A and B are shown apart, each in its own frame.
Chain A
Amino acid sequence: MTTGILLQIAQTLLAILLAPLLMGWVNQCRAWLQGRSAPPITQPYRTLRKLFHKDAVIAHDASPLFRFAPYMIFACMALAAGIVPTIANDLPFSPAADVIALVGIFALARVFLALAAMDTGTSFGSLGARREMLVSFLAEPALLMVFFTASLISQSTELPIIVETLAHREFVIYPSMAFAAVAFWMISVAENARIPVDNPTTHLELTMIHEAMILEYSARHLALIEWAVALKLFTYSALGIALFLPWGIAAQGDFNALPLAILALVAKMALGGAVLSFMEAISAKVRLFRAPEFLGTAFLLGVLGMLIHFLLEV
């Protein structure tokens, strides 16, 4: 039990510390693909350090919620990162929330971000918050559909059992998971404010979604939010790996598999980040009103995955 708790702490810390590295890697790949000279992979860490050393500027009209929100968002993401199995399966924290509760945790962070964005009463903040809500209310049911497909296969909504079924039993190809994987990819692109739904580098008022919400933040608050964004990308990647490429995650109590699990995690994340930046390089941002179509397609693929499961796998 003690080792389990230690492992849990190690896994959560690993996620928190490695998340900016993943972000740096994605940015680096993207710069290479666009033919620019890339920033060093540690750039996000330097940005975070710089931001933590600055003095925070807060609007006069801001309520305590505005100060509180970054801590809340970061805590939500850290909690989510602790629940998703990244290196070891079935840790003591995992029973705290199943996949449906995990969607709830993401939603909680989003609600606080949107409230904080509207709190100062600037037009950009409320614009961003509304757009974020438009995107997320379409993404959430699609995400649930993906989770339901995985749950139908493993007869459980608990992530450890899903991973156990997919990784450590006899290898079976699940065609429904192919649909779910495409849907999950589209949802994570939308949820992490990447191209084609949102552009993480733009500050153009016509197009920005996520950046519009955090315009009023500075210094340590901004640093926490940026860190939480990196952590969200990391958690979604870990979730994708746990659902669709779970091989390598150490089984319960299997300590010898841990070094291999860490290696596998790094390799998969590096690959996933490269693919993400490649997809971003070849696609253009769509208009905001095309986003419902994009996410509608994701939802449809999730539903199709469930239907395929009933046809082929029962």
Chain B
Amino acid sequence: MSLTYHLQVVNLLAALLLLISFAMLSQRRIIGLVTLFAWQGAALALSTAIVAWSTGQHHLYYSAGLTLILKVIAMPWFFYRLVKKLDVDREVEPMINIPTTMLIGIVLVIFAFNLALPISQMSGTVTRSTLGIAMACVLLAFLMMITRRKAITQVIGFLAMENGLFFAATSASYGMPLVVEMGVALDVLVGVFVLGIFFFQIRETFDSLDLKHMEKLKEH
């Protein structure tokens, strides 16, 4: 192994991202989920900054800063307030119980690693081996969206998926063009605020944030 130290740190952070994804899958409380999401953002921002520093890609600094402000400070703060206001800290039992979800998660990780192997061999970046982890993060966040019932957890799952995609972009091709990244960041921000308003509407209509009520399309 002949990687330089900062790339080893990037690898370590990639592993940390995967670890946090699994922790999110197993987390029952929404506040804990928000905290984990903030940590995931922090790991992402740090790894992006290290990649920027080691490869001299200056626009990656901006995306690291953007990640730090949006995903580590703004959004978790917003979610904390939302959870307090809506008073929904306890998640109901997920659709599939947690140990089973974790086992499915392991299968997804193996799938993602195998899937990423040929792709990362084509890529020329130094961080290409972390692509598999990024894909695993995306799939795990997707799994969380599928297995959870509450609207807030699904949105956090969505944001975690965005984290994974962002990490995939950084590791496969040193990030997207800055314009695209700004656009995505703005979209996510607006999306979160709109969904925040939706939560209130959903609760007002159905007296709960459980999305299974929305399966009934008829009016009462």
B153-195 vs A, CB cutoff 8 Å, 1 = contact: the mask equals: 0000000000000000000000000000000000000000000
Q: Are A175 and B102 in contact (CB under 8 A)?
A: no
In the complex the two chains form, what is the Cα distance from A182 to B103 in whole Å? Answer: 18
Q: Which stretch, A71-79, A106-114, A273-281, A289-297, touches the partner chain B?
A: A289-297
Given contacts A307-B113, A311-B133, 18 further A-B contacts (CB under 8 A): A172-B1, A173-B12, A175-B11, A175-B12, A175-B15, A178-B15, A178-B16, A179-B15, A292-B99, A293-B98, A297-B102, A300-B22, A301-B22, A303-B106, A304-B19, A308-B18, A311-B129, A312-B129
In the assembled complex, A313 has its CB within 8 A of some CB on chain B? yes
A300-B102, A304-B18 are known contacts. Are A178 and B129 too (CB-CB below 8 A)?
Answer: no
Complex Cα distance A303/B19, Å? 12
List chain B residues, Cβ under 8 A from A68: none
- Whether A89 sits at the interface, judged by CB under 8 Å, is no
Measured between alpha carbons, how far is A304 from B1 in the docked complex, in Å?
Answer: 20
B14 touches A312 (CB 8 A): yes
Expressed in whole angstroms, the minimum distance between the Cβ of A178 and any Cβ of chain B is 6
For the complex of A and B, the 4 pairs showing the least CB-CB separation, nearest first, are A175-B15, A173-B8, A175-B12, A175-B11
- Tell me if B109 is interfacial: C-beta within 8 Å of chain A: yes
- Evaluate contact between A296 and B15: CB separation under 8 angstroms: no
What number of A residues sit within 8 Å (CB to CB) of B? 21
For the complex, what is the distance from the CA of A178 to the CA of B23, rounded to whole Å? 14
Tell me what chain B mostly uses at the interface: helix, strand, loop, or mixed: helix
Q: How far is the CB of A118 from chain B (nearest CB, A)?
A: 29
Is A255 in the interface zone, CB < 8 Å from B? no
B1-34: CB near A (< 8 Å → 1, else 0) gives 1000100110110111011001000100000000
CB distance B14 to A175 under 8 Å? Answer: yes
Contact B8 A308 (CB under 8 A): no
| B102 A178 Cβ-Cβ under 8 A | no
Which residue in B5, B11, B99 is a CB contact (below 8 Å) of A312? B11
Contact A304 B98 (CB under 8 A): no
In the bound complex, residues from chain B placing their C-beta under 8 Å from that of A312 are: 11, 14-15, 129-130, 133
Q: Which of B16, B102, B129 has most chain A Cβ within 10 Å?
A: B102
B110 contacts A by Cβ under 8 Å: yes
* A297, A300, A301, A311: the one within 8 Å of B132 (CB): A311
Interface residue from B15, B26, B102, B130 paired with A176 (Cβ < 8 Å): B15
How many B residues face the partner with a CB closer than 8 A? 26
Which A260-305 residues have a C-beta within 8 angstroms of B?
A: 292-293, 296-297, 300-301, 303-304
Q: How far is the CB of B12 from chain A (nearest CB, A)?
A: 5
Closest chain B residue to A303, Cβ basis: B106
Asked if A310 is at the interface of the complex by the 8 Å CB criterion, the answer is yes
How many angstroms from the CA of A173 to the CA of B16 in the assembled complex? 13
Chain A residues near B129: list those with CB within 8 A.
311-312
- Given known A-B contacts A307-B113, A311-B132, A313-B1, A300 and B106 have beta carbons under 8 A apart: yes
Chain B residues in 8 Å Cβ range of A179: 15, 19
**Selected A-B contacts with CB under 8 Å, 6 pairs:** A173-B11, A175-B11, A175-B14, A182-B19, A301-B22, A307-B110
* Interface hits, B103-134 → A, CB 8 Å: 103, 105-106, 109-110, 113, 129-130, 132-133
Q: Mark A227-249, 1 if CB is under 8 A from B, else 0.
A: 00000000000000000000000
CA distance A52 to B102 in the complex (A): 48
Whether A178 and B19, one on each chain, are in contact in the complex, defined by CB atoms closer than 8 angstroms, is yes
Q: How far is the CA of A72 from the CA of B118 in the complex (A)?
A: 54
Cα distance A176–B19 in the bound complex, in angstroms: 11
With both chains docked as a complex, state the minimum distance between the C-beta of A190 and any C-beta of chain B, in angstroms: 15
- Cβ–Cβ contact A304 & B106, under 8 A: yes
Report the separation of the CA atoms of residues A311 and B109 in the bound assembly, to the nearest whole angstrom. Answer: 11
B113 cross-chain contacts in A, Cβ below 8 A: 307, 310-311
Contacts of A310 in B (CB 8 A): 113
Which of B12, B102, B109 touches A296 (beta carbons < 8 Å)?
Answer: B102
Which residues of chain A are within 8 angstroms of B99 by Cβ–Cβ distance? 292-293, 296
A residues in contact with B22, CB < 8 Å: 300-301, 304
- B130 neighbours in A (Cβ, 8 Å): 312
Residues in B whose Cβ lies below 8 Å from that of A300: 22, 102-103, 105-106
State the CA gap A292–B98 with chains docked (Å): 11
